[in-house]
Amino acid sequence: VPGWWYVINPEKSLFFLFWVLIVNTGDMPAIFFLAGYFAPRSLEKRGRMLFLKEKALHIGIPWIVGVLAFAPLFAMATWRSLNLPLPETYMEFVRTIWLGPGYQQSHFWFLGVLMVFLIVFAAVGSPRAASGRSPLFWLAGWWGLSSAAFFLSSLYLHPDLWIRISHIYFQPARIVSYALAFYLGARAWRDGWFDGPRPGFGAIALSGLATVAGSWSVIFLAMNFPVKETLALKALHGMSHSFASLSIAVFFLFLCRALFDRPSPVWRTLSEASYGIYWLHQMILMPAVYLLIPWNLPIGIKFILALGGTYILCAFLTIHGLKKLPVLRRLF
């Protein structure tokens, strides 16, 4: 993991280094795609004002609470992992570090960016008619535009740089791909991409091969050219990152459609709890990883315990806490 990560296990693993590189590439486009997929139906059902009111309640308030109440704690964990001196009090840390050089929003940044997308979406409106074009056309367009945006950003800024504009916190190199993924989700709903039969073995295998190729390209460039100094390397980095993001997202969505798109009370319950699981996960995962560090266990076992335990506990807390308690159940 990067040196600034919240909790770092002292045991090194090349496999998990590759895992971090891959997961850090392809997860958010899929999430923004899904957010965009469900947005048009909600907007048409509720109308613009009620749509925005509900999104402010369900997205805006959890974002604000998460950033103000919990993000400074993650910033403090980062400061500790970097072995940097900490102020004597928490409030002094918030004032001098978190509101200054150590500002971050942890995983809650997604909610702030999503809120902006939803406001723009409500103002502009959803696609009114089916495009008549194949999904491959739109996916190829996403790859081309995302690659270009990533490349142009890398000419002036580091690809992993985070910036803050007003209260919105994001990575300039990736924000265009997220906006396009959100739009593609809305387009997928309007064009009925998922109205037909589930993807077959061929489609899943092809997207799996694309995922392997995209992941390999990301790992190869990261290991052999950690500093992309030439224009050619910057362009390759943009194309590689965008292709890996696209292929991983498509493979993930195909697998979910093939395996889980069927009537099931368990899947329905977990689906309804997914937002709460996302909101809670870092607050459970990071302490779990910290507690597992001194255990004399193989790093793979630690990974399974931390990941599985976090998911189970977050699902339990969401189903029996966030979705049941007064006030919280209105938000989640």
The predicted model gives 184-213 an average pLDDT of: 90
User: Residue 332 CA to chain centroid, in angstroms?
Assistant: 18
- Reported as a single tens digit per residue, the pLDDT across 292-310 is 988 989 989 999 999 999 9
Residue after which a domain boundary falls, among 241, 261, 281:
261
Predicted local confidence at residue 168, as pLDDT: 96
Question: Same domain, yes or no, for 91 and 202?
Answer: yes
Question: Same domain, yes or no, for 71 and 186?
Answer: yes
Q: Which of 45-49, 109-113, 261-265 has the lowest mean pLDDT?
A: 261-265
Are residues 243 and 143 in contact, defined by beta-carbon separation less than 8 angstroms? yes
Alpha carbon separation from 6 to 45, 81, 212 (Å, rounded)? 41, 6, 28
In sequence order, the β-bridge partners of residue 259 are none
Q: Is the pLDDT of residue 250 over 70?
A: yes
Question: Same domain, yes or no, for 59 and 90?
Answer: yes
Are residues 174 and 32 in contact, defined by beta-carbon separation less than 8 angstroms? no
Question: Same domain, yes or no, for 310 and 176?
Answer: no
Burial 262-271 (b: 16+ CB within 10 A, else e): eeeeeeeebe
Distance CA 260, CA 271 (A): 10
In a domain, 6, yes or no: no
| Number of domains present in the structure of the chain | 2
- Reported as a single tens digit per residue, the pLDDT across 100-147 is 999 999 999 999 999 999 999 999 876 667 778 889 999 999 999 999
Question: Same domain, yes or no, for 114 and 228?
Answer: yes
| Helix and strand element counts for the chain (H, E) | 13, 2
More confident site: 204 or 80:
204
Q: Is the pLDDT of residue 39 over 90?
A: yes
Cβ neighbours, 10 Å, residue 60 = 20
Structural domain of 331: 265-332
Q: Is the pLDDT of residue 1 over 70?
A: no
User: Residue 234 CA to chain centroid, in angstroms?
Assistant: 23
Residue after which a domain boundary falls, among 261, 279, 300:
261
Residue after which a domain boundary falls, among 261, 284, 301:
261
Question: Same domain, yes or no, for 86 and 183?
Answer: yes
The predicted model gives 8-36 an average pLDDT of: 84
In sequence order, the β-bridge partners of residue 168 are 165
Q: Which of 2-6, 96-100, 235-239, 325-329 has the lowest mean pLDDT?
A: 2-6
Q: Cα angle vertex 40, ends 45, 264, to 5°?
A: 80
Question: Same domain, yes or no, for 229 and 286?
Answer: no
Are residues 126 and 44 in contact, defined by beta-carbon separation less than 8 angstroms? yes
List own/partner pairs for 302-306 with CB under 8 A and 24 or more apart: 302/9, 303/16
pLDDT band at 13, cuts 50/70/90? Answer: confident
Q: Averaging pLDDT over each range in 11-15, 88-92, 262-266, which range is the top one?
A: 88-92
Q: Where are the beta strands (DSSP E) in 69-183?
A: 163-165, 168-170
Predicted local confidence at residue 2, as pLDDT: 59
In a domain, 96, yes or no: yes
Question: Same domain, yes or no, for 19 and 47?
Answer: yes
Tokens of 92: 């002094």
Are residues 35 and 275 in contact, defined by beta-carbon separation less than 8 angstroms? no
pLDDT band at 275, cuts 50/70/90? Answer: very high
Q: Is the pLDDT of residue 20 over 90?
A: no
pLDDT band at 201, cuts 50/70/90? Answer: confident
In a domain, 59, yes or no: yes
In a domain, 9, yes or no: no
pLDDT band at 6, cuts 50/70/90? Answer: low
Question: Same domain, yes or no, for 247 and 329?
Answer: no
pLDDT band at 231, cuts 50/70/90? Answer: very high
In a domain, 3, yes or no: no
In a domain, 7, yes or no: no
Q: In 47-127, which residue ranges form alpha helices assigned H by DSSP?
A: 48-55, 61-69, 71-81, 90-93, 109-124
Predicted local confidence at residue 5, as pLDDT: 66
Cβ neighbours, 10 Å, residue 19 = 14
User: pTM (2 decimals)?
Assistant: 0.92
In a domain, 178, yes or no: yes
Predicted local confidence at residue 181, as pLDDT: 95
Q: Is the pLDDT of residue 241 over 80?
A: yes
Predicted local confidence at residue 127, as pLDDT: 61
Predicted local confidence at residue 242, as pLDDT: 94
Q: Cα angle vertex 198, ends 315, 266, to 5°?
A: 25
In a domain, 1, yes or no: no
Question: Same domain, yes or no, for 203 and 292?
Answer: no
Distance CA 184, CA 245 (A): 14
Question: Same domain, yes or no, for 91 and 210?
Answer: yes
Predicted local confidence at residue 216, as pLDDT: 93
Question: Same domain, yes or no, for 103 and 181?
Answer: yes
